[in-house]
Chains A and B, each alone.
Chain A
Amino acid sequence: MDFLEILRTALQQALGPTAIVYVLAAIGINVHFGYTGLLNFGQSGFMAVGAYGLAVTVVILDGSFWLGVAVSFVAALALAIVLGLPTLRLRADYLAIVTIATSEALRLVFGSVEMKDTFGGSNGLTGYSKVYKDLNPYSDGIDLGFISYRRDDLWNITVGWSLVAICCLVVWALMRSPWGRVLRSIREDEDAVRSLGKNVFAYKMQALILGGMIGGLAGLFFALKQASVVPTDYNTNLTFLAYTALLVGGAARVLGPVVGGVILWFLLSGLGATFGQMTSGPDPILPTWLMDSSQSSLTRFIVTGLALMLLMIFRPQGIFGDRREIAIDGR
């Protein structure tokens, strides 16, 4: 067993572009669920419209790259309004049902044969990221001794972590304000907020739009770092892994989703590398009747799930959460 190699892989992934996608998605969910109490189970839908907004504009409609970026944001905004108008006046669970159904519907439409000319079918779309790649100022990759990134990934993580920092700054500035106080109050009791003369529907809509547009940004970044959009990438797993990242870090904390996403990917890839090593080679450490190399990459999800259960039992508020806030829930 090469522990250094495992640690290296884990760290590389935890700070890498994939983790950033989940961190951004989780920041959006934090605005929805953590601060406002909106159960959005369709974050992958917001990400999909963000990614396809860019790809379709550039590849199919022959628009410019920056127009595509703008379309991404407008698409996420429009999706939030369409989802919010009918559901935000209803009980919280309706939003959950509608968002998960919509995100699945979007994925199926984007991948459908009938719409192949517009969305590229199940192969998706490529060839829209030239402008983004040309912006890369680095001439070479980076080698920090322990971990190293190639030239492309170095540009990806530079952009990615900058986006994360901007999103965190926006969320922090908003949530310390009276506006954020109204959102947190809505999470606690809508009727109380209404009785004090606040337009609850408008605030919920604003929160849904803000979180949805951060989700769209996550999708946009996903599309850029991957250089292709494939419909199957935007399945419900994406949403739920982002929720996991949020809960690990601690909901309703600005840095909760960031730390949660990094830890989740550190765990996932560290375990993947561990099991990979234990089952590879002519004489694997684990006997093949127990686990073979094709099973090892799935086992990491089982072990990660177990770790999450333990976390929820012994630290239900996540890493950054406030224990006092959780204790009150036992009323």
Chain B
Amino acid sequence: MAAELTAAQAALAQVATDPGAKKPDPIVVGSGITRTFGGLKAVDVEHIEIQRGVITALIGPNGAGKTTLFNLLTGFDEPNSGQWSFNGNALQSVSAYKVARLGMVRTFQLTKVLAKLTVIENMRLGATGQKGEKFWLAPFKWLWKGQEDEITSRADDLLARFKLDAKREDFAGSLSGGQRKLLEMARALMVDPELIMLDEPMAGVNPALKQSLLGHVQSLRDEGRTVLFVEHDMDMVRHISDWVIVMAQGQIVAEGTPQSVMADQRVIDAYLGAHHDTDLSELDEAALEAEVEAEIKEEQA
């Protein structure tokens, strides 16, 4: 890890560790975001801020609403209420493709590579503002040839960086799970996003590849991008994140640096249950009996 902290990282030292804490330079600010599925409140976030230029991890037990929050922020799902902004642009009911064009690009928990396109074609698709993607210009190759070559060389650079250059002409569907994760990340970079949101980048990736993935995520921050990722892999969270936001049952329960969060009682409670270290044998049996009897009476009444 870099010995010197960037200004953005250093600034986090002053931030309070309460849920929804204010950041000195937030890139994303959201408040009152709720989403219910039937009777279940999947997301109920009072306030959230993501600091610019650092790696923020979003953790929490299964069903905590992390991916749903991702979908809401990126326009892939509509919330029941709430407002949020990216770089000061309000994003309520802005469609997903416009969110991506603003510079906020996400990947998916279940990788979405375009199986029947080659790896290089997958990459080329990521580039924005392509002239050849306009219907009226598309048939005339000389109009978009130059831009296409530019895009291809940028794609080749990224493929080399992610060690996928040997797979350039293979169908993306023939890649392994880990390679697909790499391709998805590389493809998202073709959009040149300011904020890249990775949904479980480590899931199903072998340990050797994990190390290089960690390096790639860090290099994203080092080139000035903001990274927000959802992850279950605590090693990754501890190693590379500058800030951790913990969700449980749709709410943000804690925030802080990785060290402080791992020690936070609220986080342990969220993961293991609030009574996880209560010794059941020490409970007063008489009191328990009385409690049960009271309950039965209540039901009978």
Contacts and interface: CB of A to CB of B under 8 A. Distances in A.
Interface of A: 170, 173-174, 176-182, 184-185, 187-189, 191-200, 206, 324-325, 328, 331
B121 interface: yes
In the complex, the 10 A-B pairs of residues with the closest C-beta atoms, listed nearest first:
A178-B132, A328-B173, A179-B138, A197-B100, A192-B112, A177-B138, A173-B139, A188-B114, A197-B101, A178-B133
A179 B114 contact: no
A197 B135 CA distance: 17
B105 A173 contact: no
Chain B CB count within 10 A is highest, among A173, A174, A176, A177, for: A177
Interface string B127-154: 0101111110011110010001000000
Contacts of B113: 189, 192
B117 interface: yes
Interface in B17-51: none
Interface residues of B, number: 42
Contact of B76 (A176, A184, A191): A191
Contacts of A331: 115, 173
- Does more than half of chain A's interface fall in helix, strand or loop, or is it mixed? helix
B171 A173 contact: no
Contact of B100 (A173, A176, A184, A195): A195
Interface string B96-138: 1110110001111000111111000100111010111111001
Given A177-B138, A189-B114, A206-B135, A325 B76 contact: no
Contact of B138 (A173, A184, A198, A200): A173
B126 A196 contact: yes
Nearest to A188: B114
A1 B139 CA distance: 50
28 contacts: A176-B141, A177-B133, A177-B144, A178-B124, A178-B132, A178-B148, A180-B138, A181-B121, A181-B125, A181-B133, A182-B125, A184-B116, A188-B116, A189-B113, A191-B76, A191-B108, A192-B114, A193-B125, A194-B100, A195-B74, A195-B188, A196-B187, A196-B190, A197-B97, A197-B101, A198-B125, A199-B97, A331-B115
Contacts of B173: 328, 331
Given A178-B124, A328-B171, A196 B117 contact: no
A328 B115 CA distance: 7
Given A177-B144, A178-B130, A325 B116 contact: yes
B108 A195 contact: yes
Given A181-B121, A181-B125, A181-B133, 17 more contacts: A170-B139, A178-B138, A178-B144, A187-B116, A188-B115, A191-B108, A193-B114, A195-B100, A195-B105, A195-B106, A195-B107, A195-B112, A196-B190, A199-B95, A325-B171, A328-B173, A328-B174
